[in-house]
Amino acid sequence: MTKMKSSPFIPAAEIRRQFVDFFKDKDHTFVPSSSVVPLKDPTLIFTNAGMNQFKDIFLGQGTRPYQRAVNTQKCIRVSGKHNDLEEVGRDGIHHTFFEMLGNWSFGNYYKIEAIRWAWELVTEFWKLPKDKLYATIYLDDDEADAAWRSETDVKHSHIGRFDKDNFWEMGETGPCGPCTEIHIDLGEGLCSLEKHPQHKCGVNASGCGRFVELWNLVFIQYNRDGKGSLTELPAKHVDTGAGLERLAAVIQGVPTNYDTDLFQPLIQRIVDLTGTPYDQGVGGVAHRVVADHLRSISFALADGAMPSNEGRGYVLRRILRRAARFGRTLGMHQAFINELVDDLGGVMGEAFPEIVERAEHIKGVIRGEEESFGRTLDRGIDLFNELITRLSKEDQKLLPGDEAFKLYDTFGFPLDLTQLMAEEKGFTVDVKGFESEMNNQRERARSSGKFSGIDLQFEGMPLQRLRDDGQCEFLGFDDVIIEGAHITAYQSDRKKVRLVLDRTPFYAESGGQVGDAGSIISADWEVEVEDTQKFGEDVMHIGAIVAGYEAFRKDAVKKFPTVVTAKVDYLRRLKTARNHTATHLIQAALRKVLGKHVNQSGSLVHPGYLRFDFTHFEKPTEEQIDRVETIVNEVIAKAHPVKWQITSIEDAKKRGAMALFGEKYGEDVRLVTVADISAELCGGTHVKTTDQLLAFRIVSESAAAAGIRRIEAWTGDRALEAAIEDKRMLRMLQNALSAHGGNVLDKVLKLMEDYKILLKQVEQFKQASAGDETSSLLDNAQDVEGVRLVTALYDDRSMDDLKTLADAIREKNKNIVGVFGSSQEGRASIAVVVTEDLISGKGLSAGKLVKDIGAIAGGGGGGRNHLGTAGAKSAEKLPDAIAAAADILKKHLS
């Protein structure tokens, strides 16, 4: 490994700090890492590059108050073309989670400065040997070539031109440009392919472990259109990225990324927990996988992702289950990955404090997933091994897709886990067969569900833009009626319409709060607004024309932009605001009762109710739920003012403000406070004082997901009405039970006890009655080839009654077959019993007998050898079925 022998050891945390400080000294603004859960970018499952949060700038859709930026970004790559999952642990460079160090210029400096500063940092600060460094440029990028020659003292023979490796593109169309990379020669003996006859070690050589890339500098100067043509962008940008893990390995002079101080504390802890020693070869694969996967799992959970069976949640669950399976190879059959979270906090908590702040949540979710998967993992492995044994005997090396799907569907094995296990045994998996089974399941689920969509009337209809006033101004925090607003855009289809205004009091659905309803009125027409949604920068008022349809059509053609009055449904808004403020009070109360690990994981704020999801690892007790409800009602009664202000993110954090998992906040935020009880970053609508909530009532508490609990609650009139209804119900019970004076519960418990006693007495009576009845039945038994057959037909006896009679027949008798039928509410029930001696001696089965007898009645049945039951929707043919019992018994005896 290349390293200056005299250089002191530099911890990874110091390398990170040096990178950021270097560019801050060159007038770059430090921009905190965005969440690894890109909630506002549907094209990504996880944030996979530092540029993700700046994509809108490159696309010309956004700006920032700075032109130079530096950042260290949390990244996860487990899907799409950036998918390193299968390689993790097998070598020393692949990871699912990594840190991307980067600096950016948004139309400011360009190639000369970017190249000069990169070389300065690498060679002057980190003292990497210049004779081991190489620069790559795009084929025709003479500007970058000239910069390397004039701004650095890199060996000119170490500058190489390449094609696809040195041209960056965001997608098939859009911003793109050439890039230049810094590579380092780590020395002979570090490439696993160097003895391969078709491999030649070199810069950009596929799979080469000797020459590795350290830093990529992208120059975004073109736009590629749909025809593939390139045009110059009006503003040119710089986007650079260097993986901290690889930089640390090179600077620290260790063989692999896993030998750096980013991983070694985790690996040593795994050794301590498992008792399995670590080595840098095959014997350390499991250690490396668990250490790597711990990082991606923990950061995803810290930023608000949760394991589930679809989308991002399923990818997270796959990673966690893959780590758990590798834990089995380390001899760990109990949950242990969760015990590594604190060690990760020790390594990375200073740079990313959320790992420490949310450690209890992270540990709880991982532990729950480990324990849940652990209950099926061993059974699934047993089934897999049985399958491999059978296929080996049949001389097959392809594991069928339907079997892989069974492992997925029944035991929770992700496909890639089955592929990994199969590969270890020398097998491959029929992926197409698996996908076919998966598609069949999706189709079944789709056909059993109901499709719902929003405003399908507008599908494919263009938005008519009347004037571009920029972003719609929201005035709804202070006003619910705005006069003199103008329509700036619209869509209409018959009487359905979407309107965009230059100013609005309507709150667009966001942050869990539903959109406002109300009306928009002009001099000639009226639209009833049913919902308000945000589409890009537009606030869409969605509704129906309820008056002046023809006038609206004329306006649409001739007179827009029309002056209108926008009126929010005040009572609906008030109910919604009550429920939104209540969610803040719930979180404060939950943290007081259950602990500081509680964080909001999601919410729905609706005028009729609220739903609040929070992190907690066990079901709260009824006493704890009651205590939360009491605390919130106490706050309501004290009429605390609910205040909000715009402040800096740093000031809000100093005041203890709670933020939503995974949400990306700007420099200025809206802080909503309730006295010293609650402080949250929130853009929603709230009441002025807590007494406006009137009352608070928790109506349910349940599990939402592993490590996530859910509360549903009411406020306002609905909560008061529920209390009144409870009082009315209690009064009715008191009257019915003659239980005045507060002893209703005692009376109910006494009634339940008496009821259980009566049930037991009834059962005893039935058994005694059945015993008496059996004597009469046995006296009338008919002989069928030496077997005594007892039959009986009843009205209004339940199946349980027939079973009781069958048990009484079988209990103390031999050589008996009993067939009993009953018609009840027009339906037929049949029970057949066979004594033990006939089962063992003549091979009779009650389950098989009742199947044939039930068929005559027009139904079906089955059961065990000693007792079988059948049913039919109609009792019309029941007598025929009972009468046929003798012939059916003869058939079975023969």
User: How far apart (Å, rounded) are the C-alpha atoms in residues 666 and 150?
Assistant: 39
pLDDT of residue 530: 95
CA distances from 218 to 72, 170, 229 (A): 17, 11, 19
pLDDT of residue 663: 58
| pLDDT tens column, 245-303 | 999 999 999 989 999 999 999 999 999 999 999 998 888 999 999 999 999 999 999 98
Residue 85, Cβ density class (10 Å: 0-12 exposed, 13-18 middle, ≥19 buried): buried
Residue 789 has which token pair?
């057959």
User: How far apart (Å, rounded) are the C-alpha atoms in residues 872 and 859?
Assistant: 4
pLDDT of residue 98: 94
- 397 within 8 A of 427, measured Cβ to Cβ: yes
pLDDT of residue 832: 95
- 341 within 8 A of 298, measured Cβ to Cβ: yes
- Looking at residue 135, its amino acid is A
User: How far apart (Å, rounded) are the C-alpha atoms in residues 246 and 84?
Assistant: 15
- CA nearest to 58, candidates 286, 299, 259, 221: 221
User: 27 Cβ partners below 8 Å, 6+ apart?
Assistant: 68
- 133 within 8 A of 158, measured Cβ to Cβ: yes
- CA nearest to 114, candidates 213, 280, 240, 222: 240
- 427 within 8 A of 399, measured Cβ to Cβ: yes
Which of the 8 DSSP states describes residue 172? Answer: S
Residue 436, Cβ density class (10 Å: 0-12 exposed, 13-18 middle, ≥19 buried): middle
- 301 within 8 A of 317, measured Cβ to Cβ: no
User: How far apart (Å, rounded) are the C-alpha atoms in residues 110 and 120?
Assistant: 16
Residue 751, Cβ density class (10 Å: 0-12 exposed, 13-18 middle, ≥19 buried): exposed
The DSSP annotation for 797-809 comes to --HHHHHHHHHHH
Q: What angle is formed at CA 114 by the lines to CA 110 and CA 119, rounded to 5 degrees?
A: 155
pLDDT of residue 80: 56
CA 557 to chain centre: 46
State whether residue 74 is helix, strand or coil: strand
| pLDDT tens column, 580-624 | 999 999 999 999 999 888 888 889 999 999 999 998 878 999 999
Pairing of strands 481-493, 464-465: antiparallel
CA distances from 730 to 624, 715, 734, 743 (A): 23, 21, 6, 11
- 598 within 8 A of 614, measured Cβ to Cβ: yes
- 485 within 8 A of 503, measured Cβ to Cβ: yes
pLDDT of residue 613: 92
Residue 219 has which token pair?
């120059």
User: How far apart (Å, rounded) are the C-alpha atoms in residues 82 and 556?
Assistant: 48
Residue 270 has which token pair?
């795994």
User: How far apart (Å, rounded) are the C-alpha atoms in residues 559 and 798?
Assistant: 75
Residue 124, Cβ density class (10 Å: 0-12 exposed, 13-18 middle, ≥19 buried): exposed
Mean pLDDT per 10-residue section of the chain, whose length is 894 residues: 60 96 96 84 80 83 89 86 69 89 95 96 94 94 95 94 86 85 86 75 79 92 85 89 94 93 96 93 90 95 83 85 88 92 96 91 88 80 87 87 84 80 89 85 53 38 70 90 91 84 93 94 92 85 90 72 91 96 96 88 92 89 96 96 89 77 68 93 94 96 84 95 90 82 79 84 66 77 92 89 86 89 92 92 92 92 91 91 93 89
pLDDT of residue 76: 92
User: How far apart (Å, rounded) are the C-alpha atoms in residues 199 and 208?
Assistant: 8
- 737 within 8 A of 747, measured Cβ to Cβ: yes
The DSSP annotation for 525-538 comes to -EEEEEEEEEETTE
CB burial readout 289-309, b (16+ within 10 A) else e = bbbbbbbbbbbbbbbbbbbee
Which of the 8 DSSP states describes residue 513? Answer: B
pLDDT of residue 768: 61
| pLDDT tens column, 30-66 | 999 998 988 666 667 888 888 888 888 887 778 888 9
The DSSP annotation for 562-597 comes to PEEEEEE-HHHHHHHHHHHHHHHHHHHHHHHHT-TT
End-to-end CA distance of the chain: 84
User: 768 Cβ partners below 8 Å, 6+ apart?
Assistant: none
CA distances from 692 to 581, 682, 688, 695, 724 (A): 10, 19, 7, 8, 19
User: Which residue stretches of 608-673 are H helix?
Assistant: 622-637, 649-654
User: How far apart (Å, rounded) are the C-alpha atoms in residues 492 and 399?
Assistant: 55
Pairing of strands 473-474, 503-504: parallel
CB burial readout 682-710, b (16+ within 10 A) else e = bebbbbebbebbbbbbbeebeebbbbbbb
